[in-house]
Chains A and B, each alone.
Chain A
Amino acid sequence: MKKHIVATVEEIPAGEKKFISVNGKSICVFNVNGEFYALRNSCPHQGAELCKGSVGGMTVYNGSSSEGFDVSFVKKGEVLRCPWHGWEFDIKTGKSIVDPKRCLVKSYDVTVEESDVEMINAQVETYLVTIKSNYVLVHV
């Protein structure tokens, strides 16, 4: 398992995502309400680029009453729907909603760490610049 710097924290605002490639694997990093998660960009069903799907919440059933079915809208911004067949996955775990034990997409640990990145500024004269910033690291 190696840590890979994939973005600065500012680069992926809440509700946004970034596609990256690590060791030839297509992976997507999501910012869900300020927390970062990474999923393999391939749907276990028929191989669509899963992370190109839509992100939203989901409606769940709480029970019935004399007024009818009681439902609520939960996990706002935490549910990824495949761009093909619309299968739902929990971004935080990679597990599908309908069959979490058997149908899931690979998820990767993500950490945010402060680190120094040295860059060469080569525009006119060459200086060594050190940028201290918070980076998003994916563990693959």
Chain B
Amino acid sequence: MAKIEEQKAMETGKKLNGIIDCDVHPHPKSYQVIQSYMSEPWKSRFNAQTGLRGMYDNPIHVNRLDSVTPDGGYPCSDPEFTRKQLLDEYGINYAILLPRAFVSRYSNPDFAAAIAAAFNDWLAADWLDNNNDDGRYKGSITVAPQNPQAAAREIERWAGHPHFVQVMMDSGSTAPYGQQQFHPIYEACEKHGLPIAFHPGTEGVGINQSHVAGYPTTYMEWHTCLPLSAQAHLVSFITEGVFEKFPRLKLVMVEGGSAWLPSLLWRLDSEWKPLREEVPWVKKRPSEYIKEHVRLTSQPIESPDDPKHLLMNFEMMDAKNILMFSTDYPHWDFDSPTRSFPKMPEDLKRRIFFENAKELYNLE
């Protein structure tokens, strides 16, 4: 498959550089498109005028200003233009697509599940089954955590689809995701060999708890603190024994930062030594579960004044095996594949930019 794709890319004069972009955000041309996949009563209740959160919206701009499509459409709403501006521009082999439906914010679990399903129908129709001759677009199955059984059924509906490669939930939630009530989702993921990915964006929005005490005042405060949400879910996964219960499950923390990982690994291991008694299902050092089961996407990669410090951090977190490159296209805090990382040894770069994601998603 890889050879065929490389061949195709070469025929059209496009070079692949060994990059997998693990966080790309396709957007419907309009919300009426999503609505068209819904049935009543949800169809007429869905607010097709706006997909905005209504709070914690970026006051400057939420999308790269140069990512508006040539016909004036919403950024990342045209698979052809995204292929040109992102995949071909940088020689990206595959883009892992994570639509932002923000479904975890809704109070009604059935409504949330209906919106998630409509986003999946749209993603399959517009990005995966069509406009994807080269197979470079790989999708995420959006599920709503409010009703884990319904989420598991949604996973069943798409499992086996050649281009859906993972399941995705908003990390804005009503409870830490390691808890028992969410396990039907992970059971379905494990059964079908699909990693579960958490992506921020609904923290403190709708029915969800905030990731800090109370509500952050500004977008900057809210956005800076998003890694706290990722860390809390990760700690929950460990202490609740999720990986012991689902030994083949993989977890992807998307856009939640990564520089915090070394200190979290150290702290988890230190806490476990005296407190193992409380969590006897945690049979190994927490850091061992994380190294085996968890992957982090890179964007927004931290950029210390001295790039050497980032490389030291990579070593401490074992970035060579755990970090996966991402751009977050078309969002404002896009990480350029050529400009966001310091110079790295070639084998480390290859692991982060390609091999780690290739292995996780079984890509060729």
CB neighbours (8 Å) of B335 from chain A are: 46
CB distance A47 to B336 under 8 Å?
A: yes
Instruction: Tell me the residues in window 34-90 of chain A with beta carbons closer than 8 Å to chain B beta carbons.
Output: 45-49, 52-54, 81, 83-86
Instruction: Tell me the residues in window 307-358 of chain B with beta carbons closer than 8 Å to chain A beta carbons.
Output: 332-336, 338-340
Min C-beta distance of A95 to chain B, whole Å: 18
Name, among A45, A47, A86, the residue most crowded by chain B CB atoms within 10 Å (CB to CB).
A86
Min C-beta distance of B326 to chain A, whole Å: 14
CB distance B332 to A86 under 8 Å?
A: yes
For the residues of A in contact with B, the DSSP-based class is loop
For the residues of B in contact with A, the DSSP-based class is loop
CB neighbours (8 Å) of A84 from chain B are: 64-66, 332-334
CB neighbours (8 Å) of B333 from chain A are: 84-85
CB distance A85 to B332 under 8 Å?
A: yes
Select which of A52, A54, A81, A85 is within 8 A of B334 by beta carbon. A85
CB distance B65 to A46 under 8 Å?
A: no
A45 to B65, CA, bound (A): 16
A49 to B339, CA, bound (A): 13
CB distance A54 to B61 under 8 Å?
A: yes
CB distance A83 to B339 under 8 Å?
A: no
A107 to B308, CA, bound (A): 31
Interface residues on A, range: 10 to 19
Min C-beta distance of A102 to chain B, whole Å: 10
Min C-beta distance of A133 to chain B, whole Å: 32
CB neighbours (8 Å) of B61 from chain A are: 54, 81, 83, 86
Min C-beta distance of B98 to chain A, whole Å: 19
Residue of B nearest to A47 (CB): B339
Indicate if B60 sits at the interface (CB-CB under 8 A).
yes
Instruction: Tell me the residues in window 188-215 of chain B with beta carbons closer than 8 Å to chain A beta carbons.
Output: none
Select which of B60, B66, B338 is within 8 A of A81 by beta carbon. B60
A49 to B338, CA, bound (A): 14
CB distance A83 to B338 under 8 Å?
A: no
CB neighbours (8 Å) of A85 from chain B are: 332-334
| Contact A53 to B65, CB < 8 A, known contacts A81-B60, A84-B334 | yes
CB neighbours (8 Å) of B339 from chain A are: 45-47
CB neighbours (8 Å) of B340 from chain A are: 46
Residue of A nearest to B333 (CB): A85
| Contact A52 to B338, CB < 8 A, known contacts A81-B60, A86-B60 | no
CB distance A52 to B65 under 8 Å?
A: yes
Min C-beta distance of B102 to chain A, whole Å: 22
Name, among A49, A53, A81, A85, the residue most crowded by chain B CB atoms within 10 Å (CB to CB).
A85
Min C-beta distance of A26 to chain B, whole Å: 13
Q: Which residues of chain B have a CB within 8 Å of any CB of chain A?
A: 60-61, 64-66, 332-336, 338-340
Q: Which residues of chain A have a CB within 8 Å of any CB of chain B?
A: 45-49, 52-54, 81, 83-86
A-B contact pairs, 30 of them (CB 8 A): A45-B339, A46-B334, A46-B335, A46-B339, A46-B340, A47-B338, A47-B339, A48-B64, A48-B66, A49-B66, A52-B65, A52-B66, A54-B60, A54-B61, A81-B60, A81-B61, A83-B64, A83-B65, A83-B66, A84-B64, A84-B65, A84-B66, A84-B332, A84-B333, A84-B334, A85-B332, A85-B333, A86-B60, A86-B61, A86-B332
